[in-house]
Chain A
Amino acid sequence: MKQKKKILPALAIGNILKNKATYVPYLGVSIFAMFTYFVFDLILKNDVMQSIPRATYAMVLVQIGFFLLGIIMIPFLYYTNSFLIKRRKKELGLYSILGMEKKHIGIMMFFESILIYVIVLVVAIVLGLLFSKLIFLLLLNMAKITVDASFSISPKAIVDSIIFYALITGINLFVNLIQVGKANPAELMSEAKGGEKEPKHLFILSLIGILMIGYGYYLAVFAKINSEIFLDFFLAVLLVIIGTYFVFTSGSIAILKRMKKNTKKYYQGANFITVSGMLYRMKKNGASLSNICIFATMVMITVICTISIYFGMDSIISFKYPRDIVVDFIGADETVVVNLEKILTEEESMYQMSPKDNLYYQYKKLFLTKEGSNFRITKDDDNYGNRTSLILMTAAEYQRLSGNSVNLSDKEVLFYSTGADYAENTVELAGMTFTIQKEFQDFIIGRKEKNNVYEAYYVTIVKDASVMDEISAFYGLNGGPENISSIYTFSFDGSDEEIASFSQSVYEKVAALPGFAGYTNYNEEQLQVQSMYGGLMFIGVFFGSIFFICLIIIMYYKQITEGFEDQKNFEIMQKVGMSDEEIRMTIKKQIRLVFALPLVGAIVHTLVGMQMVTMLMGVIWMFELELIIICTVGILLLFALFYGYSYKKTAKAYYKIVKM
């Protein structure tokens, strides 16, 4: 009895060592996942985080990431586990036949689980402790938060990880025990053999799949930014995922069967083996190939977005907050500007800072609803997509700002849109039709971005103040110079603290000026936004890598499974009279095809998806189209390279098995 107690743990250790090829990747992915989980938790539970200013956004995002990680990990580790147990059934059956009771197998599996549990947790926690400070600094750096904080280790995070992984291990062990408990030794011994039954209604299913992908693509390519874009986005994603599944499972088989029907071509050496082999593989692997395709698409889009935002951050900030300080006034009192500039000069010399990019202009702003070329007063039930704002400015003001001389008649205007081009010859304002003399493409008061929809507005330059007043009066904003708004805005260089104290001092003096309506320091907001985007990128980096590792593991396991199946086929073909060389060539061809299909699918998905993602990036003020294109191309190439590399690596493992 004592002997037996020692034998079971020894067997457990032996089993893991013997099944290295399958256990090492499993351990690797578990360790990486638990490591990420632990580090995220450490960052969240750290006392320092509460005390860092502006870390809230980054923290909320890390919190969301932490939650998602938990959700993704459970099914993924479940999947890898079910792969492991499938591979080992024969061995367990053998133990059973050799006289091990179910109870003993159970105990042995329990020891195995404990062993893996301990290895994964210890390694993950040690790595976590070693690298958490580094990763924490990475997060702060990405969020552009400068803080001189000591990072403390929270024991609570360790406890969390221990519990969380115990939960996963528990689920997996439970499933394994049930599977072993239910089956008799003979069932365990007989591996799942043969191809699966051919799915029915191939043609209809593949047609549905193609239509779904087609409609998903249509939605993505022709998406317009409006209130429905998020709905459309999710619909497109869902359609493409389901469509991909159908196309990979039914479509590929339908095509191959067609090829098979062409007897003349089919019964020709290489085609014959390739087509029939592919048919067999697609029947078994259609689902997992579509998984790979979807995972790969997710990896690429996540990474492209992350990198684009990283490189586009400055552009985003400068678009959203072109200048640090904005002072608003009501009334057209020119002396105010003089006084304000005097204040600035005084403060400047005191704080030794010089404002730059100073901009001052007078305007009237109307909130209206656009109906074709007509602008009318907004009603409560108007669609938000059609609501917009219109800035009125006199020709004289425009001339002062742009330096261009203009000559407008009463019924003529100049037009400018910060979003998509207005592209009409006339505009109806206040019930009158104005001819647009010219629609210009840039204007200093606001950068034009064609994809900007949510915050785009129109600027109309009219002949003089009397036309401006007439229009504004029609829309309920009464005329007269006392109702004109003015903006004075500027930036300056300096550390965040310097800007804050300088700004405070300016504010106190400016607030006393007549007509003062508001003072905003956007520097603070910029930092908030940076913190938010930094958090977003941090999540992007980690999720991109987790998705990628999951992807590689799926491919690796798939390859191993096929290797074991092909081993037998290899032998048969040899006996029937194929040379080693021929067999290797055809198998290589099939494997390469099976590998390339999801990659090609994923690249097409990504390219099409980027159309829509680019639009969505506009919602977070990311309009750098060129940057996005460069990132997309770069990431696609890089991914294809990595993918090819992992193909090479897994193919090696595969040949090792086949040649056994």
Chain B
Amino acid sequence: MALLEVINLKKVYTTRLGGTKVQALDQVNFTVEKGEYVAIMGESGSGKTTLLNLMASLDRPTSGQIILNGINMETMKQKQLCGFRREHLGFVFQDFNLLDSLTLKDNIFLPLVLSGKDYTDMAQRLLPLANKLAISDILEKYPYEVSGGQKQRAAVARALITNPQILLADEPTGALDSKASDQLLKIFSEVNKDGQTIFMVTHSVQAASRAGRVLFIKDGCVFHQIYRGTSSNEEMYRKITDSLTVIQTKKQEEVS
């Protein structure tokens, strides 16, 4: 059985005054297997962020189902969802979303503390993670005292410390320079190699080229997907650009 199943997912936004309806997602279907590294690409307004928000249970779909590890999120109550989110999902955001009031260490501990974990347990979990992410030296610093790359690595640590079933990343390299981006993507590949399932939304071809599979989303539908197979990162990069070109030209044809 697949780790994550998305079935006929549909999301319609209604403007506040009840007027126009905007279809953000329309009949989205895909599955993610355990240990997979999936990137999802698409232009602005294609529905990427909506999809991620639905998967993160931050928003409710209009219709359709999201099933994680056999549990249908749709059937859960608001309160349960909070705990579910904390224990089964890990998040990495474009703008880090670290609390300025906490040190990096405490930011990383936040989800564990909320789940009522013991301090020794937390410390044990942090040690290897901090080493892997090269943030051991800056754990006592505050987010406003460190660089963007360091912030994002701390955010990754926060996402991973709960041993989530799936790591959801929303444009994780969006606010980073190329060097920090590269470093982060390497980390993603490594944790994926260790068995972590990753689902990443991105604009960046470079970021997507590290993934095992790339889904293309357009006008609220999954439009196309490519598998890495045995290709190297460079080949994958080329495949993605080719696909993008095809999508782009098709669109122009449609317009003309």
Interface of A with B (CB < 8 Å)?
A: 193-195, 263-264, 267-269, 272, 276-277, 279-281, 569, 571-579, 582
Q: Name the residue on A nearest B159 (C-beta).
A: A576
Could you say which of A195, A267, A576 contacts B91, with CB atoms under 8 Å apart?
A576
Cα of A582 to Cα of B100 in the assembled complex, Å: 19
Closest to A266 in B: B119
B116: nearest chain-A partner, CB-CB = A269
> Quick one: which of B100-139 are within 8 Å of A by CB?
100-102, 106, 109-111, 113-114, 116-117, 119, 122
Q: Which B residues are in CB contact (< 8 Å) with A276?
A: 99, 101-102, 106
CB–CB A573/B86 < 8 A:
no
Q: Is the CB of A267 within 8 A of B122?
A: yes
Contact B98 A572 (CB under 8 A): yes
Task: Assess whether A272 is in contact with B113, with CB atoms less than 8 Å apart.
Answer: yes
Residues of B within 8 A of A267 (CB): 109, 113, 117, 119, 122
- A577 and B114 contact, CB distance less than 8 A: yes
Which of B56, B87, B101 has a CB less than 8 Å from the CB of A280? Answer: B101
Q: Does B228 contact A (CB under 8 A)?
A: no
* Cross-chain contact A268 with B113 (CB below 8 angstroms): yes
Could you say which of A269, A572, A573, A575 contacts B58, with CB atoms under 8 Å apart?
A: A575
Report A-chain residues with C-beta under 8 Å of the C-beta of B143. Answer: 194
The answer to whether A195 touches B58, judged by C-beta atoms less than 8 angstroms apart, is: no
Chain A residue nearest in CB terms to B98: A572
Which of B33-41, B42-50, B67-75, B77-85 lies on the face that meets chain A?
A: B77-85
| A579 in contact with B79 (CB, 8 Å) | yes
Contacts of A263 in B (CB 8 A): 119
Nearest Cβ in chain A — how far from B118, in angstroms? Answer: 8
Is B110 in contact with A576, judged by CB distance below 8 angstroms?
A: yes
B144 at the binding interface (Cβ < 8 Å): yes
Interface of A is mostly: helix
Least CB separation from A271: chain B residue: B113
What DSSP secondary structure best describes chain B's contact surface? helix
Q: CB < 8 Å: which of B78, B100, B116, B158 contacts A579? A: B78
Q: Select one of A193, A264, A269 contacting B119, CB under 8 A.
A: A264
Complex Cα distance A193/B99, Å? 12
Task: Let me know if B79 and A195 touch, CB within 8 A.
Answer: no
Contact at A195–B114, with CB atoms within 8 Å?
no
Q: A193-B144, A267-B113, A269-B114 given as contacts; is B82 within 8 A of A577 (CB)? A: yes
**Residue contact B83 to A577, C-beta cutoff 8 Å:** yes
For B99, B117, B144, the residue with the greatest tally of chain A CB atoms inside 10 Å of its CB is B99
Contact B99 A195 (CB under 8 A): no
Q: Decide yes or no whether B93 CB sits under 8 A from chain A.
A: yes
10 contacts across the A-B interface (CB closer than 8 A): A193-B100, A193-B144, A195-B100, A264-B119, A267-B109, A276-B101, A280-B101, A575-B56, A577-B111, A579-B82
Establish whether residues B106 and A195, one from each chain, have CB atoms under 8 Å apart when the complex forms.
no
Report if A578-B113 is in contact (Cβ < 8 Å); known contacts: A267-B122, A276-B101, A569-B101: no
Query: Which residues of A are found within 8 Å of B99, using beta-carbon distances?
Result: 276, 569, 572-573
Contact residues of B with A, CB < 8 Å? 56, 58, 78-79, 82-83, 85-87, 91, 93, 97-102, 106, 109-111, 113-114, 116-117, 119, 122, 142-145, 158
Q: Smallest Cβ distance from B29 to chain A, in angstroms?
A: 26
A486 to chain B: closest CB distance in Å? 79
Q: How far is the CA of A194 from the CA of B86 in the complex (A)?
A: 26
Residues of chain B within 8 A of A279, CB atoms compared: 101
Of the candidates A194, A569, A572, A577, which one forms a contact with B85 in the assembled complex, judged by CB atoms under 8 Å apart?
A577
Give the residue of B91, B102, B114 whose beta carbon is less than 8 angstroms from that of A575. B91
User: Looking at the complex, which one of B86, B102, B116 makes contact with A577 (CB distance below 8 Å)?
Assistant: B86
Contact B113 A195 (CB under 8 A): no
Shortest distance between the CB of B76 and any CB in chain A (Å): 13
> In the complex the two chains form, is B86's CB within 8 Å of A576's CB?
yes
Contact B109 A277 (CB under 8 A): no
Complex-state Cα separation, A195 to B102, whole angstroms: 10
Q: Which B residues are CB-close (under 8 A) to A569? A: 99-101
Interchain CB contact under 8 A, A576 and B113: no
B122, closest chain A residue (CB): A267
Q: Which residue of B lies closest to A198 (CB)?
A: B142
Tell me the bound Cα distance from A276 to B56 in angstroms.
26
Does B113 contact A575, Cβ atoms closer than 8 Å? no
12 more contacts with CB within 8 A, not counting A279-B101, A576-B114, A576-B158, are A193-B100, A195-B101, A195-B144, A263-B119, A264-B119, A267-B117, A272-B106, A272-B109, A572-B99, A574-B58, A575-B56, A576-B86
In the assembled complex, which residues on chain A have CB atoms less than 8 Å from the CB atom of B98?
Answer: 572
In the A-B complex, the 8 residue pairs with the closest CB atoms: A194-B144, A577-B86, A280-B101, A579-B82, A572-B97, A577-B85, A267-B119, A272-B113
Q: Which A residues are CB-close (under 8 A) to B91?
A: 575-576
Nearest residue (CB) in B for A283 is: B101
CB contacts (< 8 Å) of A269 on chain B: these are 113-114, 116
Q: Which residue of B lies closest to A197 (CB)?
A: B145
Question: Shortest distance in angstroms between A191's beta carbon and chain B's nearest beta carbon?
Answer: 12
Pick the contact of B100 from A194, A268, A272 — CB < 8 Å?
A194
Nearest residue, chain A, Cβ from B143: A194
Q: Which of B78, B85, B91 has the most CB of A within 10 A?
A: B85
Chain A residues whose CB sits within 8 angstroms of the CB of B158 once the complex forms: 576
Compute how far the CA of A30 lies from the CA of B58 in the bound complex, rounded to whole angstroms.
45
* Chain B residue contacts of A573, Cβ below 8 A: 99
CB distance from B148 to the nearest CB of A (A): 13
